[in-house]
Amino acid sequence: MTDVINGYAAAASDADLAPFQFTRRHPRADDVVIDIQYCGVCHSDLHQARNDWGNTRYPVVPGHEIIGRVISVGESVTRFKAGDVVGVGCLVDSCGECAPCCEGEEQYCVNQPTPTYNGIDRHDGLATYGGYSERIVVAERFVLRVPDGLDAKAAAPLLCAGITSYSPLRHWNVGQGDKVAVVGLGGLGHMGLKFARAMGAEVTLITRNRDKEQEARRLGAEHVLVSSDAAQMAAAAGRFDVILDTVPTAHDLNPYLAMLHLNGTLVLVGMIGPIAPPVHSGVLVTGRRSIAGSAIGGVEEMQEMLDFCAAHGICCDVEMIEMQDINGAYERLLKSDVRYRFVIDMTTLKR
Ligand SMILES: [Zn+2]
Ligand SMILES: [Zn+2]
């Protein structure tokens, strides 16, 4: 086996993704070598390829919703063997010593977790390259077991879109009878509906689009509120325990906060940036309401989520594409023209 492998990379912010050859490290004692079968297409991939966050190191090989089969393992690996179906999400390493790491919250590592792509390996100082490639080499600690019964290709987006929705619902203890609203119906939102329903909540979708009612019900919503309908929104004042806000751009939070019950929490999972327009503190103070944020999930919680999905028979709704279709898929992603996640069949890379 050669260490030179094929992938797809962006060479510059204005360049399409194109075939790219690079090397993976020789496996270390704790490494798992994975033949990648499927890779989900996350909006972050597009942001990073186009340098929307100003921190991209080129060439960048995106992809952090990775499902594959183990080819080989290092001598100290105990949990995996050749042939196992496994997953890798947004992170491939962390310091392992800080308080969040010790609590299984590697995503909040105070010494910066190592991202699956566009990162720098903590040991050899080399760039990390993601899942738009044939193979990946990842430390065992960051590899997940894909349970039998989960459709591997539909499981890929669980590793970013899925966990981003699952983790806050668990953190805020969503359970039987709780009233949960999900704002926005995209990759994150469609999983938020499924998870909240499976946890026993009474689920509402809040959307700009009246046409989404039937879809929302299919995905687990009991109610649908149209955000442009002020009367509908006002009638829902004080209703929700948790609002999972998946909208990726700045938007007025005040009407949503007013819909929280006493002690309710609005969790931002889709947007990173200034909140605008300003939030009136009165809406927080008068109901002891909170605005919070949440980022992906820790390794242990990701495994819990995969097992939860297998137990409840839920997965992502995906549209399969070939590697060569990636640039067209990005254009469709910009128009939210996907239900609800693109997944690349990585065998098409070998053509
Ligand atoms: Zn992602
Ligand atoms: Zn740490």
Q: Within this chain, do residues 125 and 23 fall inside the same structural domain, yes or no?
A: yes
Residues 11 and 156 both lie in one domain: yes
Place of tokens 């590899």: 143
* Same domain for 201 and 78: no
Q: How far is the CA of 104 from the centre of ligand 2 (A)?
A: 9
**149 and 166: one domain?**
no
pLDDT, residue 302, reads 98
- Give the per-residue pLDDT at 108: 98
Find the ligand nearest to 115 CA: 1
Q: Which of 246, 276, 293 is the last residue of a domain?
A: 293
Ligand nearest to the CA of 269: 1
- Ligand showing the shortest atom-to-Cα distance for residue 41: 1
In order along its 351 residues, the chain shows pLDDT tens digits of 457 899 999 999 999 999 999 999 999 999 999 999 999 999 999 999 999 999 999 999 999 999 999 999 999 999 999 999 999 999 999 999 999 999 999 999 999 999 999 999 999 999 999 999 999 999 999 999 999 999 999 999 999 999 999 999 999 999 999 999 999 999 999 999 999 999 999 999 999 988 889 999 999 999 999 999 999 999 999 999 999 999 999 999 999 999 999 999 999 999 889 999 999 999 999 999 999 999 999 999 999 999 999 999 999 999 999 999 999 999 999 998 999 999 999 999 987
* Two structure tokens written together for 174: 């969503």
Q: Ligand 1 centroid to 232 CA: how many Å?
A: 32
Structure tokens that stand for 277 in this block: 């327009």
C-alpha 246/C-alpha 256 separation (Å) is 12
Residue 254: give its domain's CATH number.
3.40.50.720
Look at residue 2 in the predicted model and tell me its pLDDT.
53
The DSSP code for 30 is T
Instruction: Quote the number of domains for the chain.
Output: 2
Q: What is the pLDDT of residue 222?
A: 97
**Residue 104 DSSP symbol:** T
123, 184: one domain: no
Q: How far apart are CA 92 and CA 110, in angstroms?
A: 15
Considering the domain architecture, whether residues 309 and 271 belong to the same structural domain is answered as no
Q: Report yes or no: 99 and 110 within 8 Å, Cβ to Cβ.
A: yes
**Domain co-membership, 124 together with 190:** no
d(CA 162, CA 86): 16
Domain boundaries, position 232:
162-293
Whole-number Å distance, alpha carbon 111 to ligand 2 midpoint, is 5
Q: How far is the CA of 324 from the centre of ligand 2 (A)?
A: 37
Q: How far is the CA of 217 from the centre of ligand 1 (A)?
A: 25
Q: Of 190, 201, 196, 237, which Cα lies nearest the Cα of 339?
A: 190
Q: Which ligand ends up closest to the CA of 248?
A: 1
**Residues shown for the chain:** 351
Give the pLDDT of residue 3.
77
Do 128 and 194 reside in the same domain of the chain? no
> 146 with 192, same domain?
no
Judgement on whether residues 185 and 212 belong to the same structural domain of the protein: yes
Q: Is the N-terminal amide bond of 274 cis, ω within 30° of 0? A: no
**What's this model's pTM, rounded to 2 decimal places?**
0.96
The DSSP-derived string for 213-276 is HHHHHHTT-SEEEETT-HHHHHHTTT-EEEEEE---S----HHHHTTEEEEEEEEE-S--S---
Contacts for 198 with CB less than 8 Å, ≥ 6 apart? 220, 308, 312, 314
How many Å lie between the centroid of ligand 2 and the Cα of residue 95? 4
Q: Which tokens hold the place of 87?
A: 């997953």
Out of 254, 274, 293, pick the residue that ends a domain: 293
pLDDT at 221: 97
Q: For ligand 1, a single-atom ion, which residues have Cβ within 5 Å?
A: 42, 44, 160
> What is the domain-level CATH number for residue 122?
3.90.180.10
188 CA distance to ligand 1 centroid (A)?
10
Residue that terminates a domain, selected from 293, 316, 338: 293
The reply to whether 173 and 313 lie within a common domain is no
| Best CA proximity match to 217, nearest among 247, 177, 190, 199 | 190
Answer yes or no: do 95 and 174 share one domain: no
DSSP character at residue 156: G
CA–CA distance, 238 with 339 (Å, rounded to integer): 31
